[in-house]
Structure 1
Amino acid sequence: MNASKASRPGVCKYYLRSAVVAVGCGFAGSLHAQDASRYQIEGDAASGTSGVIGQVFDTVKPVTEAGFNGLFQLLDNQPIALILLAIALGTLIGRFSFKTISLGPTAGTVVVGLVLSMIAEAGFGITYSIPGILSSFMLLLYIYALGLKVGPQFFSSLRKGGLAFVVIGLIVWSLNWVIAYFGAMLAGLAPGYATGLISGSYTITAILGVGQNALDSGAYVPPDGMTVEEVGANMAAAYAISYVLSSVGIILLIRYLPRIFGYDAVADAKLAAADYSGGATDSVPGGPGALILGFSRFDLRAFSVTHKSFIGRTLSQLADDFPQAPILRVVRDGEIVDLTSDPAVQKDDIVTVRADVHDLILKDGELIGPESDDPLARNIPMQVADVHVSVRKMCGKSLADLGRVMPGGVTVQALFRAGNELPLGPKSDVQFGDVLRLTGPDAAVLETAKRLGGHVSLPTMTSEVMYLAIAMLLGYLVGIVTVTISGIPFAFGTSPGVIMAGIGVSYWRSRNPHFGGPVHEGARSFLQDFGLNAFVAVLSANVGPKVISALGGDTILWLALIGLAAALIPPLVAFWVGIKLFGLNSIISDGATAGARNNTPGLEAIIEESRSSVAAVPYPVSYALTTVLALIGGYLSMILS
């Protein structure tokens, strides 16, 4: 049907009824593509707009017409939408608390992912299957970001509690194996269930792989009346049931272990952070919060010159008499005076000094004149920077000597040697390779860095992607190297490999802040939070349908009971051993327990609960140990079945 001039009002009326606004005679839209075919809109712009709107509604219409079925089908067709929905709803649910107990965003995302996938499977026959490479990559981003934060403390943890972390790992692994294997035997469960229970309750999918390897290689031969496929199905069913329950249960347990035993997670985390930092009060170079211009006893003050002892004297003369309060700016008649010519100070000039606030309050008001709030005098950009000392002639000087050669207004906020913060005092000496954290006016800090021979590491809103990619690649390659002994594949693991890469980068950056490029703390924190939640969203969405297929009979009850016992009892015992027998801080013991359980979401849960990342310090030690032992145990459980 052609749209003539006489018919245009009817066309516009039709579009208004369809809730699409037509502006003028040459602009119109359609609700559905088939509606657009009924009318020919004149003008290229109008026809283009109509086509675009029609395509939009063509996408939306199947979903709206099919209701919930269409929604879950859309999530199947667009897995990114499913992941983002699970993260958004999971984070929202995780914020709700009951008597100070909450799921947290990670466990909340797990629950939402499971519920969505189970509804899709049970209600509409839709099975979600999101490519595992996405979840694996997001997990590695999280692991690397975490390594960047805890790197300098990692090696200190080995010296302080290496043996305790190993024992905690052995306890968790051995108890898990005993409970799962003998629990399945006592319940009379068929072959395959024990290995699946170990894999699911430990939340290590790779154990299924070694169990299947024992079947495929003939190391285990099923009894008469059972096929290899049936044993494999038993493993998968036990894995699915125990994995789902363990995933949520272990996150909550790890999160609240200190509280269960009567400890304050936040207070203990502060004690642990101080202990593992050697009593340091400043963040190590390259670490979170390192270049934040926070509280300092040195500050800018402005004074109007009225005292005769100041009037008529040059800046260089005043600097010799008052080296601890250098003049940074002179304002005269509303204009900034050029200081390069060493001008003399005149009456009613406003001078800006930077010194210890205590001295300024008690002395300089009387010595110079009344304090001024002139914004021009006080508006001096300040900077904080980490500078690596690489000029030999500066080595051996005390901080007092160094202060005499530094430009006015620059102060040393912290001194680091080999990544460790040293006490500050006038006689503290500076050695080659030390890192000085300087504060002061921009130009003065840059000039000081030039004299010390080091690169300036300044606060930045950007992060170096190249170093991140190279470090993660090296850690990943180390992790995938596999050695097979007696049919059992042994590998360090990609997660330990990548976290060690992050630890290595941050460790070396604490000694040379220019190494590895800048990493903005906001970007690092985002990678840590989003990476883990995206990982668990994919994992829970994929495993949900397996729960549906495994439901049925009395077997599911045994799988649930044994799986929960194997998942939760070993961490409780190991945590108790850590705090009672080894005297570990509750947060450090919890972090080692999370590593022994190979449970990264649980680690994030205790980090959230304690408001500190110090729990991640012992995590790689017990994680790497139990990763290897868990694979050996899974293989043995299949053979012994």
Structure 2
Amino acid sequence: MIGELLRSQPEIALFVCLAIGYFIGSFRIGPIQPGGVCGTLIVALVLGQSGARIAPDLKSIAFALFIFALGFTGGPQFFANIGRGWRYGVLSLVEIVSVLALILIAVSVMRLDVGTAAGLLAGAATESAVIGTASEAIARLGLGDTETLRLQANIVTAYSVSYLFGLITIVLFTSQFAPLLLRVNLRDEAERVWRKLGGEGAFSEGQRAAAPALVGRAFRISTGDGISVRALEEQHGYDLTVERIERDGAELPIDPQLRLAAGDLVLVAGRRAAVVDAAAALGEEVAGTDFGQVFAQRLDVVLTRPDVHGMTVAQLRAQAKPENARGVYIAAVTRLESTIPALPGTELNRGDVLTLVGAKADVERGAQRLGYVLPATQKTDFVYLGLGVLVGMVIGRLGGTIGGVTLALGTGGGCLLSGLLFGWIRSRHPLVGSLPSAAAQILKDFGLATFIAAVGLSAGPDAIKLVREYGLALPAAGILMVLVPGLLSLWIGHTFLKLEAPMLLGAIAGQQCSTPAISALVGVTGNSTPVIGYTITYALSNILLPLMGPVVVGLAGKLG
């Protein structure tokens, strides 16, 4: 009865897969959380035994939207990190080269077909997008419908088996085993790096909320009698700003040359360390008065200035004229939807979203000099979106033969490259191509989950056969395909690239495109320093790995 209902109304099967799959994926065992995509695939494989199928057209549309949004959101960071982030980029290349070599070894030793080989790559590298690009490549091999469906089903089954073991391995490797190999206490190292970057201590997320980086305090001037506003701000590296001065009950206009006098009531705002430092040189702090309230504006600004790319927060402030930088503070840096610590030593990349805090006129002035304000719009430019996907489909038709191996990008590879290009154009010309982050996220989440559900349902009947054929060989291969690139990157990053341990381990999590691994790392370190390395390799691997789907299909077919 249920099977007949699912076969007659496949849309029911789709939303059952999404609902139950994301519910299963939300459970956490220690640092391990499978995630909604993995949960959706497991449910789809089970329901696939009923014969329920989703129309191929819906599957193709869902994947095209997902992969385009993936490229669109990652485009600015991808191009920004190609040159300047070369040290971390080396680790992404290590990942690509080593997993390709391991896949070819597995094909020769285990006699894998092209579908199983591509699924092993997708699962061990925890990169779901490979499923789509490899599936399209198999569809272009010119095989019969039955054989094509069988090989595409093998991608999904191999992915589901190797993904679970690959996920567990990368989480445990980065957060537990690698620090032992480096002989470091990861929390102590993270605190040292945090202080080196200009932080005040390795605060956890909750502690940072209790002790905010930006504060405002009111003082009754005594020891600070005679100092000018500019001299006070200059003494503390312009990390604080005199926002208000009240003398004899009257508020004075802020002038850099104005000298403070004994008895003045002064409101000082800025970075907490600088304000605390200045307290003793000003006078007694005054509490419980409305005068001490700071009315600050927050603006999200996309950094577009090429000359700022690669500068630290401290260098950016130092090179700016005091009148331009005055009263503007970077409260947060968002890169690829991850928040990295906005410390003086934090390096800024073109395409970063900077959260500026300060008086309205100050942050607006800062926004004009750094880039453009991220508009708080909920509207999507469907002209730009539709054109981008169409261009991707055209690019996907390109292909050729290299060394006897036939390669074709397909819709997935084409839309990925188109998304990169259109995202980069949008970052340069913000007046066109609006795709709000929330809209992009729903395209990625729903598009990928729908695609995974569709391929999982179609793979259901063949899943058990493949598991019986290879047994424990697939999980073992998945574990090796995480450990070998991880160990190589650990050795190269530590010995030759001289990367700090927290950033190096974050970069290894990023080269594996593993969000659970970076979450576990942040929990172990107690601060967000690993995210600095993670965002660079994640941006590169998230683009390069899906493009390897057709390459693996071509090479595995040649060897087979």
Deviation digits for residues 29-71 of structure 1 (CA, Å, limit 9, x no counterpart): xxxxxxxxxxxxxxxxxxxxxxxxxxxxxxxxxxxxxx74675
Structure with greater contact order relative to length (CA < 8 Å, sep ≥ 6) = 2
The answer to whether the Cα contact below 8 Å between 2:392 and 2:418 also exists between their aligned partners in 1 is yes
Matched, 1:72 2:6: yes
Question: What is the rounded CA distance, in whole Å, between the counterparts of 2:148 and 2:447 in structure 1?
Answer: 29
SS at match of 2:243: strand
Residue number in structure 1 paired with 2:541: 618
Partners of 2:353 and 2:160 lie apart in 1 by: 44
C-alpha distance in 2, partners of 1:165/1:540? 27
In 2, Cα distance between the equivalents of 1:343 and 1:586?
A: 50
Aligned to 1:491: 408
Distance in 2, Cα, partners of 1:101 & 1:398: 39
What is the identity, as a one-letter code, of the residue corresponding to 2:363?
V
1:115 and 2:54 equivalent? no
Of residues 368, 371, 379 in structure 1, which corresponds to 2:286? 371
Q: Which amino acid aligns with 1:90?
A: G
Compute the RMSD of aligned alpha carbons.
Answer: 5.6
SS in 2 for 1:354: strand
Query: In structure 2, do the counterparts of structure 1 residues 239 and 339 end up closer, same or farther at CA, with 3 Å as the change threshold?
Result: closer
| Alignment partner, residue 288 of structure 1 | none
Please say if residues 400 and 406 of structure 2, whose CA atoms lie closer than 8 Å, have aligned partners that are also in contact. yes
Structure 1: which 5+ residue stretches go unaligned? 1-66, 184-193, 214-228, 283-291, 311-316, 392-396, 416-420, 426-432, 595-601
Gapped regions of structure 2 (runs ≥ 5): 122-130, 200-207, 235-239, 308-314, 334-340, 346-350, 493-503, 523-530
- Using the size of structure 1 for normalisation, the TM-score is 0.57
Distance 1:589 1:366 in 2: 46
1:35 match: none
Q: Quick check: 2:224–2:260 contact (8 Å CA) kept in 1?
A: no
Q: Which secondary structure state, in structure 2, belongs to the residue aligned with residue 300 of structure 1? A: strand
**CA contact under 8 A between 2:74 and 2:420: conserved in structure 1?**
yes
Are 1:354 and 2:269 matched, yes or no?
A: yes
Residue 443 (structure 1) shift: 1.0
Partner letter of residue 164 of structure 1? V
1:148-547 to 2 correspondences below 5 Å: 148=75, 151=78, 152-153=80-81, 156=85, 159-161=89-91, 164-179=94-109, 181=111, 194=113, 204-206=134-136, 208-213=138-143, 233=146, 236-237=149-150, 240=153, 242-258=154-170, 264=176, 299-303=215-219, 309=225, 318-319=228-229, 322-324=232-234, 326-329=241-244, 350-355=265-270, 357-358=272-273, 360-361=275-276, 363-364=278-279, 367=282, 370-375=285-290, 377-384=292-299, 386=301, 399=317, 402-406=320-324, 408-411=326-329, 439-448=357-366, 452=369, 455-458=371-374, 460=376, 462=378, 465=381, 471-483=388-400, 489-503=406-420, 521-544=437-460
Query: What is the TM-score when the length of structure 2 is the normalising length?
Result: 0.64
Check the 8 A contact 1:414/1:438 in 2, yes or no: yes
Give the aligned partner of residue 26 of structure 2. Answer: 95
DSSP 3-state at the match of 1:373? coil
CA distance in 2, matches of 1:259, 1:205: 28
| 1:137 equivalent among 36, 48, 64 | 64
Q: Which residue of 2 aligns with 1:22?
A: none
CA shift, 1:461, in A, is: 5.9
**What secondary structure is seen at the aligned counterpart in 2 of 1:380?**
coil
The residue type paired with residue 216 of structure 2 is L
Q: Is the 8 A contact 2:228 2:259 kept in 1?
A: no
Change (3 A) 1:337 1:542: farther
Rounded to whole Å, the distance in 1 between the matches of 2:412 and 2:138 is: 18
User: What is the identity, as a one-letter code, of the residue corresponding to 1:139?
Assistant: F
CA shift in 2, pair 1:333/1:521, >3 Å: farther
* Distance in 2 separating the partners of 1:487 and 1:134: 31
How many residues of Structure 1 are paired with residues of Structure 2 in the alignment? Answer: 482
Q: Distance in 1 between matches of 2:157 and 2:120?
A: 8
- Alpha-carbon deviation of 1:236? 4.3
2:17 paired with 1:86: yes
Q: CA 1:347–1:71 in structure 2 vs 1: closer, same or farther (change >3 Å)?
A: farther
Identity of aligned residues (%): 18
